[in-house]
Structure 1
Amino acid sequence: MPPTAAPAWNTLHVGDNLDVLPRLAPGSVDIVYTDPPYNTGNDFAYADRFRDGSHADPYAGRHAAWTAMMRPRLEAVREVLAPHGAVFVSIDDNEAAHLRLLMDEVFGEANFLAQIVVNLNPKGRQLGRGFATSHEYVLAYARHLPACVVEGSSTESVDEADFPLSAPDGRRFRYLPLRNTNKKFNPVTAPTLHFALHGDPATGRVATTEFPGSQALTPVFGDGRPAVWRWSRPRVDERPDDLECRVIRGRTGERVDIFQRDWLLREGGRRKKLRTIWLAEEIGSTDSAVAELKALVGHVFESPKPTGLVRRILSTVPNDAVVLDPFAGSGTTGHAVALANAADGGTRRCISINSAEPTREGSNARLAGLPTVADITRARLTAVAEQVGGGLDVHASPG
C-alpha cells in the first residue's frame, strides 16, 4: 500500500463558526488563537442570529450585542478544546472588560492564565481625542488549569548576555546560589533540604560526603539565618559537575558558599518566562502585519495581526499542536503555523474558520477580486502553501 499522505498544515472551513465548530470532535484542539470582530464604539454590526437590540442605552446595547455574539462561540470553542488546551483572544479597550467577565463565565475564573498587553502600534493612534493608544490585549484562559500544557515561557526570550561566563569547552553559563533565596523555604517549611554539603573552594569540588580538603557547609541566608538548598542529596550526587564551591564576600565578610553552574544551552532547551507586555520590536506591529499580507496577496485587509504575535503563542505549546482560529480574518494564524513548522520541523496543524461575509464595495479586497472575507483567507493560505509549504484543504459549510 502507498504511504498515507501527511495531513495538510492548513485547513480552511468557509462558513459561520457556529455551524462549523459543533462538527469538530470534542477535545480535538490543543490551542486556540483568534482575533474576533471588534466593537469599535460605532454601532456594532455583525451578521448574527443572537443579536439583541432591545437596550435603550446605545452603549449598553452595543456591549450586549457584542457579548451576545461572542458567548455561544466561546462556549463552542470550550467544547472542542482538549482538557490540556488553552484559548488566546485578541481584544482592544472597547470590550476588554466585558470579554474578561465573559471568559470568566465561560471558562471559569480559576482558569485565567494572563491578560497580555500587546504593543501593536508603537507610534500610537494620532487621530481622535485623548491619548495616543499604542496597545491592545490578549486574554488567555486554560480549559482546565491543572492539566494545561501551556508554558508561560519561550526559548526566544532567552538573552545570551545573561550568561557571561564560559567553561573551557566554550559553553556559556552563569552562577546561581544553590541555597534557596526565597525565605518562605527554610528548615521549618522544607526540612529535608537543610543538610550539610562538603566543598573545597580551592578546587571547586562539591559532594554529599566528606573528602580530603573539604569543609562542611550548611545553607544560610545573607543575614546568617538557616536556609535550605534548592537541590536534594540525590540530585547533588547526579550532577556534581554542575556545582562549584567558591569564596564570596557577604555582609559579614568573606565566606564559602556553593553555586550552581546554570548553562545557557541545556538538555531540552532553555526557556525563559514571558513577560505580560509584548513589544512590537519582538512580535511585529500592525504595519508589519500589513506588509506581510501585502507581500502575499496585496493590501486587502485593514488590521491584520502580525504572524510574530501568533508564533509567540505557539512557542508556549508543543510543536505538534492542533491550532484553531474561529475568526480567521486574513489568515494570520494559518500563516504563523506554516512559518513555525518550516522553522523547527514541527507538525502543527491549523483549522481556520471564516464566513463568506461580503467585502465592502470599493474596498481593496473587492477591487482585487475577493468578494468575501473568506476569499481573503483562502488567497493568503493558498499563497502560504505555495511559498512556505504544508498544503491547504478547503471545506465549504453546508450550513
Structure 2
Amino acid sequence: MTDEIYETPSTTPNFRTELAAQLAELVPEAIADGKVDVEKLKELLDDDVADGVERFGLFWPGKKRAMRAAQEPTTATLKPDFENSKDWDTTKNVFIEGDNLEVLKILQKHYHAKIKMIYIDPPYNTGKDFVYPDNYKEGLDTYLEWTRQVNEEGKKLSTNADTEGRYHSNWLNMMYPRLKLARNLLTEDGVIFLSIDENEVGHLRQMLDEVFGESNFVAQLAVLNNPRGRAQDKHFATNHEYVLVYSKRELPSGALSIAKPREQLEAEYPYEDERGMYRTLGLRNSHREFGRFNRPNLYYPLYVDSDGQVYTEESADRTEVFPIWNDGFEGCWTWGRPKATAESESLVGRVAGGRMQIFVKEYAEGARRKLKSLLSEKEHTTDSGQRAFNDLFGGTGKIFQAPKSPFLLADFVEAGTGEGDIVLDFFAGSGSTAHAAWLAQLRDGGARRWIAIQLPEPTPAGSVARDAGFETIADISRERLRRAGEAVSADLAAEQSLDSGFRAFVLTDTNFSKWKVSSDVDRNQLEQHLFDLRESSSADDASTDDLLTEILLKQGYSLTERIAPVDVAGLNLRSVGDGIVLAYLNEHVKPTLEQLRAVVDEDPARLIVLEDAFQGDDQLKTNLAQLCKSKGIELWTA
C-alpha cells in the first residue's frame, strides 16, 4: 500500500492484533519491543489481578482453542444468490446460507456495533441435534468439504451423543466463539435473547456471564412451550424452557418494555377523542396535606362548558369549578394557572360524585408494559409456532418440526428494537425471528431490518420436507420467509408498507487465488500457487457481482448497498450507493488512460480497480493514482 493506492484486505479483522493495539493505546507501558509484556500488565493492575491458582469461572477442555477460533481471521466471503432472493434491488433484509462461525467473522467489518438485537435458538445438546462442523485448523475448508459431501453423497454429520467423553465440552466449544463474535456486533444498548433447555442452561449462563459480563445479565425467562408436558421424561413432565437475556451494557429500567395490546388498552383507556384513547386522572391534588392553606397559587377557578371543555376564563354559559373536596375542604390543583391555560385541551370536566370535577386526559399513546418472567400465553407455545408455520404452507404435514412461535419472538423484537434497527439470528432454523420482525412492525408500525444465517443442514431422506422438495433447512427457511412476507403485507394498514424481501447469499471461499494460500503451505503447493497466479489472481468462475461483493465486504460496506451497472467511456463499471463508489472489475479488458480519466471525472469518493485489469502496466496504474490524488478520490485495488 502506498500513499496513493489502498489494497483491499485479504481477511476479516485479526482480533488478537487489534486487541494488542488497543492495549498499546490504553497502557503503553505494557508494550515492550512491539509485544505485550504480560508481567508488566499484571504489575500495573496489581490488586485487580485474579489469583493465579484460585480462579472463579467456567472451564472446560478446549476452551483456549475455542477462543482462538473466534480470533482467527478468515478469507471466506459471501456469494450473491440472486435466484433465491426476493426484491434484491430494494430490500434491506439478508438471508445467508452457511456456517455461522465463518459468517459472523465476515460480518465484523461493517456490522460491528450495528446490531440492536440478537435472538438465537441454538442446538440444545439433547444428544440428537448437534450438527455444526467445527475444525479449528481447517475452518472454512471443513465447512466446504461437508457441504460438498451433502450435495454429492447425502452425508450428514453425526450427533453429539451423551455417550461421548466430552459431551458438554463439545457443545461449549461450539457456542463460545460464536457468542464472542456476536457480542462484537451488538450496539452499546444492544441485547441478546437465547433460548435453551435444562441440558445446558447452567453452563450457558456461566458462559454468558464471562462473555457479556455478569453485571449485564438482564433476565432468565421461563417459557411455557408445551402445556401438556413431555410424558417420556423420567421424573417430571417438562413443559417449559428458558430464555436468557443479556445486554452489551447495563440498560436503564423499562428499556425492554413493549406496547400494551389493544384489548388491554381499551379496558384501561375507556375514552377516545381525535388524538386517540385516553383515561382521566383527577386534576385536584389527592393529598389533603396540600391545599389552599399552603398552596394558594394552586387554588383558582376553572370553567367548564356544556361539552366538558375546560377554560381559565369566566363566561356566562360555563360552570365555575374550584378544587374543593365533598366535605368542603379547600384543596388545590396539581397544575398552576399558566399550565392550565396552555394545556386546556388536555383537561375535561364532568360530573362525578354528585358534583362537577376537572380531570386530566392521559393518552394511551406510548403506554408500555414489561414482559413477565414467566411467559405462559397460548401464543408463546410450540403448538402456536407450529400452527403459524403450517398455516403458511397450506396446513400440509410437518415440513419443519417444532418451530419457535413467531408471536413469542415478536415480543422480544418489539421489546429490544425500534424503527430502523437490525435484528440478527445466526441459528435461523425455519426463519421464525425474521417473521417476528415483520409481526413487530404489524404491532407498532416500526420497520426493522433483519439478518438470518442458517446452515444448509440436509433434511432427512423420506421426510415430509424432502418429499415436498426441500433439500435443506435453509431451503425451508427461505420459502417460509417468502410466504410470511406476503401474509404480513396483506395484514398491514393501507398506508403502511413492508419490506418483505431479502437478499440471499451463500458462504464460499474467497474469489481471489492470491488470498487462498495459508502460511503453513508446503513448498510444492506454494510453487504451483505462484504458477497459477501468472494467469489470474481471481477465480475463473467468479462473476463481477461475486468479486464486488467480496471486495465491498472486506472494505467494510454492508450487504444491502445499492449497486447498479454503469457505462463510462465504454467501460462497464459497477456503481455503489448512487456513484459514491465506482468499481472496474474486468481483468480481460485493459482500460486506456483516457477511459480512466473519464471515470475519475465522475468524481466518486472511492474507485476500485481489479489489479489484473492493469495487466502489468505499472505506468497506467501510477497515472491513475495521480489522477485520483488530484481529485481527492481514494483508489483501491484487489
TM-score range, shorter chain: 0.7 to 0.9
Cα drift, residue 242 of structure 1: 4.5
Cα contact 1:157–1:273 (8 A) shared by 2: no
Q: How much does 1:60 deviate?
A: 8.8
1:268-287 to 2 correspondence within 5 Å? 269-281=366-378, 283-287=379-383
Question: What SS does the corresponding residue of 1:379 show, helix, strand or coil?
Answer: helix
Q: How far 1:354 sits from its partner (Å)?
A: 0.7
Superposition RMSD in Å: 4.6
**1:202, distance to aligned residue in structure 2 (A):** 9.5
Q: Unaligned stretches of 5+ in structure 1? A: 52-56, 182-193, 218-228, 250-256
The amino acid that maps onto 2:401 is E
Asked if the contact 2:297–2:336 (Cα under 8 Å) also holds between the matched residues in 1, the reply is no
C-alpha deviations, 1:179-226, integer Å up to 9, x for none?
A: 999xxxxxxxxxxxx997336699799999xxxx88799xxxxxxxxx
Are the counterparts in 2 of residues 201 and 247 from structure 1 also a CA contact under 8 Å?
no
User: Residues of 2 paired with 1:201 and 1:175: CA distance?
Assistant: 17
Measure how far apart 1:174 and its partner are.
Answer: 3.7
CA contact (8 A) 1:199 1:206 kept: no
Task: Name the amino acid aligned to 1:114.
Answer: A
Instruction: Tell me the alpha carbon deviations over residues 39-63 of structure 1, each in whole angstroms, 9 at most, x when there is no partner.
Output: 22x3773334279xxxxx9699333
For 1:36, which of 111, 122, 127 is the aligned residue? 122
Aligned partner of 1:136 in structure 2 is 241
> Is 2:188–2:249's contact at 8 Å kept on the other side of the alignment?
yes
Choose the corresponding residue for 1:392, options 502, 506, 517. Answer: 502
Alignment-mate amino acid for residue 112 of structure 1:
F
In 2, distance between residues paired with 1:127 and 1:277? 24
Q: How far apart in 2 are the matches of 1:87 and 1:390? A: 24
- Between the aligned partners of 1:172 and 1:326, the Cα distance in structure 2 is 40
Gaps in structure 2 of 5+ consecutive residues:
1-86, 137-161, 287-294, 313-319, 325-333, 490-498, 510-638
1:224 corresponds to? none
- SS for the counterpart of 2:117 is strand
CA contact (8 A) 2:254 2:370 kept: no
Q: TM-score, normalization: structure 2?
A: 0.48
Secondary structure, aligned partner of 2:261: coil
Between 1 and 2, higher relative CO (CA 8 Å, sep ≥ 6) is seen in 1
Check the 8 A contact 2:123/2:130 in 1, yes or no.
Answer: no
1:90-105 aligned within 5 A: 90-105=195-210
Counterparts of 2:451 and 2:118, CA distance in 1: 9
SS at match of 1:145: coil
Contact persistence 1:154–1:271 (CA under 8 A): yes
SS in 1 for 2:383: helix
Q: CA separation in 1, counterparts of 2:483 and 2:349? A: 57
Distance 2:284 2:217 in 1: 32
Q: Which amino acid aligns with 2:103?
A: V
**CA deviation after TM superposition for structure 1 residue 178, in Å:** 7.6
Within the alignment, does 1:110 sit opposite 2:110 as a pair? no
Checking the alignment, whether the CA contact within 8 Å between 1:9 and 1:392 is kept in structure 2 is: yes
* Shift, 1:378, TM fit: 2.2
Asked if 1:152 is matched to 2:257, the reply is: yes
Which runs of structure 2 are paired with 1:340-379 in the superposition (5 Å)? 340-341=440-441, 346-379=446-479
Which has the larger share of helix? 2
Residues 356 and 329 of structure 1: is their aligned pair in 2 closer, same or farther, counting only changes over 3 Å?
same
Q: TM-score, normalised by structure 1?
A: 0.73
| Change in 2 beyond 3 A, CA 1:384/1:394 | same
Contact between 1:198 and 1:206, CA under 8 Å: does it hold in 2? no
| Residue 102 (structure 2) aligns with | 19
- What does residue range 260-275 of structure 1 map to in structure 2 within 5 Å? 260-264=360-364, 266=365, 269-275=366-372
CA contact (8 A) 2:426 2:454 kept: yes
Contact residue 16 and residue 355 of structure 1 kept, 8 A: yes
Deviation at residue 10 of structure 1 after TM alignment: 3.4
Q: 1:60, 1:248 → 2: CA distance?
A: 74
Are 2:449 and 1:314 aligned?
Answer: no
CA 1:357/1:260 → structure 2, altered by over 3 Å: closer, same or farther?
same
Answer whether contact 2:418 2:447 (CA < 8 A) is retained: no
Q: Distance in 1 between matches of 2:165 and 2:468?
A: 37
Residue equivalent to 1:381: 481
Cα distance per residue 1:22-45 (max 9 Å; x no partner): 1112122121111111122x3773
Asked if 2 retains the 8 angstrom alpha-carbon contact of 1:9 and 1:347, the reply is no
Q: 1:168 to 1:135 in 2, by over 3 A?
A: same
Q: Secondary structure at the match of 1:315?
A: helix
Instruction: Please give the alpha-carbon distance, in whole angstroms, between the structure 1 residues aligned to 2:467 and 2:172.
Output: 33
In structure 1, how many angstroms separate the alpha carbons of the residues matched to 2:460 and 2:134? 21
Does the aligned pair in 1 maintain the 2:119–2:192 contact within 8 Å?
Answer: yes
What per-residue deviation string (whole Å, max 9, x for no partner) do you get for residues 233-267 of structure 1? Answer: 99777646646899999xxxxxxx99754333x3x
Shift of 1:277: 2.4
Aligned length: 366
**SS of equivalent residue, structure 2 residue 390:** helix
* Deviates most, 239-248 or 57-66: 239-248
- Counterparts of 2:338 and 2:165, CA distance in 1: 61
Give the Cα–Cα distance (whole angstroms) in 2 for the partners of residues 84 and 58 of structure 1: 41
